[in-house]
Structure 1
Amino acid sequence: MRSLPLGFPKLLVSTMAAGDVSPYVNDGDVTIMYSVVDIAGLNDILRPILANAAGAAAGMAREYLRRSSVEDAPSTPAARQKRIAITMFGVTTPAVSHARALLEAYPCTPYTFHATGAGGRAMERLISEGFFDGVLDLTTTELADLHVGGMLSAGADRLTAASHKKIPQVVSLGALDMVNFGPKDSVPEKFKGRRLVEHNPSITLMRTSRDECVLIGQDIANKLKEADPLKTEIWIPQAGLSTLDVEGAPLRDQEADEALTQSIVDGLKGSSVRVVVRQNDINDHEFVADMVERLLLMMELAPEEQ
């Protein structure tokens, strides 16, 4: 079911829908309905649930047919707007909001992916399928969860698709100052002495250490050093990787951030990939504007005529 195209109707009725459904959904747009009772013979609980599921599937199918008919109708050919993938987390939202505002002046459509693991996987998949023309990868936080053991990892293929497809990408280090866990009592015992911030009752953030940042930086460098240097840049904000990593914020750790920077710089020595180190934080408007400008230049996009 996940292999079907995005937008194609998909509905699954299962007793597993009330638990962790990530293995069934992964990076697809699968709709899941809880059956309440097991699907083993009809009864007065299951019948209306299955009827609702059939109605939902029929409604989605009708809408898919209508949409397909409109898209297939003859029309005057028009130039397709360029598509740009952007990654975001709550703590990098100001950066992404500013980037989207700047892109409004250009013939492109931005698609924002929440860097929750599934978001990163979905983006990488769509890049691999040729959907996107450029990537503003502001928020690479999923790599921290990959290497430290957090719950929002996007897997080992994160930050690989754009290089393989050779499309323009401007990468930054948004929210690599944190690893995501569930409620505070779910944080593994080995991390209990670390710096923790309760984002909300369901999410606990842990500051990445110096050694962890070195490991993450090595992974980023290894993944980018084989990329097309004419279409790849990495921008490093020295004054903070998120709203929680600026001066005076609870996750600020300049030593760890500098170790991350040095690891990336060292790992990219000998390659021609451009590394830009700036004394801004990730959400600084000037920093974001300059990243957007570089991506637009690599994509050869000019502002739309008014």
Structure 2
Amino acid sequence: MGKKVVLIGALDTKGQEFQFVKDRLQACGIETFVVDTGVLGDPLFQPDVTADEVARAGGSSIEALRAGNDRGTAVAVMTKGAAAIVIALEQQGIVGAAFGMGGTAGTTVAAKALQALPIGVPKLLVSTVASGNTRPYVGVKDIMMMYSVIDIAGINRLSRRILSNAAHCLAGMLQHMELEQEAEKDKVTLGITMFGVTTPCATRVRELLEEKGYDVLVFHATGTGGMAMEALIKAGYIQGVADITTTELADHLVGGIFDAGPDRLEAAGIARIPQVVSVGALDMVNFGEPETVPAAFKDRLFYQHNPTTTLMRTTVSENQELGRIFATKLNEGFAPTIVVFPKAGVSLLDMDTKPFDGKAEREALYASIKQHLRADIPMVDMEQDINDPAVADMIADSLLKLLETNKRG
């Protein structure tokens, strides 16, 4: 069976709309495969995977869900089941692209299924909630969300245009995917983490690695950026890392808004891929507008990065703990690893005469890493700040050597 666009949604309440999208895709020469997630009634047309099959994959049955008459339970079961079905379809080589649409419930069910697919597979979700907070639905996957503007309730002058655009967009992505995959073939992919205050370093490292023929992905260390990189490492998409900007560890420790979760800085060690790690932007914790900063921090040192981003300087004690966390995570991994520590500053703000210049904080971070880091993991001391070209050169050269050694090994 060849690859198709998998349509995921409730054919009892949204059957007319899914039929419309299905017809538009087929008019473009694109085959479809339909997964029904409707619980309330019979589907408008026959799907390839029935709602009962989805419910059973989620640990229940359609009869039990209807008898229970509990919307929350039904959504949870169908969400789990749809993801399981889509994973199985992807393993069978059926999924060329995926599409979902709905309100809050339909979006939740379809989003989890789309999140289960690998990055690079075209994914599109038409939703009534796409103009709000989309993080729960997108996660760290390349899901395109299109706002439906009106409720998804029938085919009318506006919904016809929006759903046609969605179908044609998906068809275009699918039709051109093979061409893009051919262009990407044979390149080793590396990951780099960057923040505004580590941009000079990350940019130079990227350019040096690209000169050597590597494909370089740069991740903005805003919580989701770090999570996305870790997910791609786990998926085998990235073969080496210059983890320059580990600032998300500070947000996780202190409670900032750019928290990448408890597993940050662990994927490369588990995957055993070469990594060069530094302490970029560990001088700061990130918050939103000034009024969003918790009252408990009112006496701390702040810097207004822009109207919506307030930065708070990390303390000596926080740096001591960050050093321990940083070292422990590296110690528990199995990757070829080198640590590069810029002793004159860890960001554009943590330098002589700059707002976050903190010799005591840097020394606390350095001493803690040194104390806890495994003896067999090299730690390179640099007298310059992190954005000095010499530091970038050291990071790039170190990673290139690890990659070469790993290749020979």
State the TM-score, normalizing by the size of structure 2.
Answer: 0.67
Number of the residue aligned with 1:154: 260
Number of the residue aligned with 1:298: 402
Match of 1:183 among 273, 289, 292: 289
Establish whether residue 245 from structure 1 lines up as the match of residue 245 from structure 2: no
Secondary structure of the 1:218 match is helix
Question: For each residue in 1:88-137, what CA deviation from the matched residue of structure 2 results, as whole angstroms up to 9, or x when unmatched?
Answer: 11111100111122224323222211111111111111111222221111
Match of 1:262 among 362, 367, 377: 367
Number of the residue aligned with 1:22: 135
Unaligned runs of 5+ in 1: 73-77, 302-306
Question: For each residue in 1:236-263, what CA deviation from the matched residue of structure 2 results, as whole angstroms up to 9, or x when unmatched?
Answer: 1111110011111111121112111111
Match of 2:191 among 65, 69, 85: 85
Amino acid at match of 1:265: K
Deviation at 1:66, TM superposition (A): 5.2
Establish whether residue 232 from structure 1 lines up as the match of residue 345 from structure 2: no
Number of the residue aligned with 2:145: 32
Distance 2:149 2:258 in 1: 28
Secondary structure of the 1:27 match is coil
Distance 1:237 1:298 in 2: 20
Distance 1:66 1:168 in 2: 30
CA gap of 1:252–1:49, structure 2 versus 1, over 3 A, is same
Amino acid at match of 2:314: T
Highest Rg: 1 or 2? 2
Amino acid at match of 2:397: E
Number of the residue aligned with 1:304: none
Same amino acid, percent of matched pairs: 47
Aligned runs of 1:42-81 on 2, under 5 Å?
42-64=155-177, 67=180, 80-81=186-187
Deviation at 1:71, TM superposition (A): 7.1
Amino acid at match of 1:6: I
Amino acid at match of 1:247: D
Distance 1:123 1:254 in 2: 31
Establish whether residue 95 from structure 1 lines up as the match of residue 208 from structure 2: no
Establish whether residue 220 from structure 1 lines up as the match of residue 220 from structure 2: no
Asked if the contact 1:228–1:273 (Cα under 8 Å) also holds between the matched residues in 2, the reply is no
Number of the residue aligned with 1:288: 392
Distance 1:4 1:232 in 2: 30
Structure 1 range deviating more: 210-219 or 85-94: 210-219
Establish whether residue 116 from structure 1 lines up as the match of residue 116 from structure 2: no
Distance 1:71 1:247 in 2: 45
State the TM-score, normalizing by the size of structure 1.
Answer: 0.89
Distance 1:81 1:2 in 2: 25
Which structure has more helix as a fraction of its residues? Answer: 2
Deviation at 1:227, TM superposition (A): 3.1
Number of the residue aligned with 1:75: none
CA gap of 1:297–1:218, structure 2 versus 1, over 3 A, is same
Distance 2:189 2:154 in 1: 48
Amino acid at match of 1:203: T
Number of the residue aligned with 2:121: 8
Secondary structure of the 1:300 match is helix
Distance 1:71 1:211 in 2: 49
Secondary structure of the 1:233 match is strand
Cα-Cα RMSD: 2.0
Q: Could you say which structure has the greater relative contact order, defined with CA pairs below 8 angstroms and 6 or more residues apart?
A: 1
Which aligned runs of 4 or more in structure 1 are off by greater than 3 angstroms? Answer: 40-47, 65-68
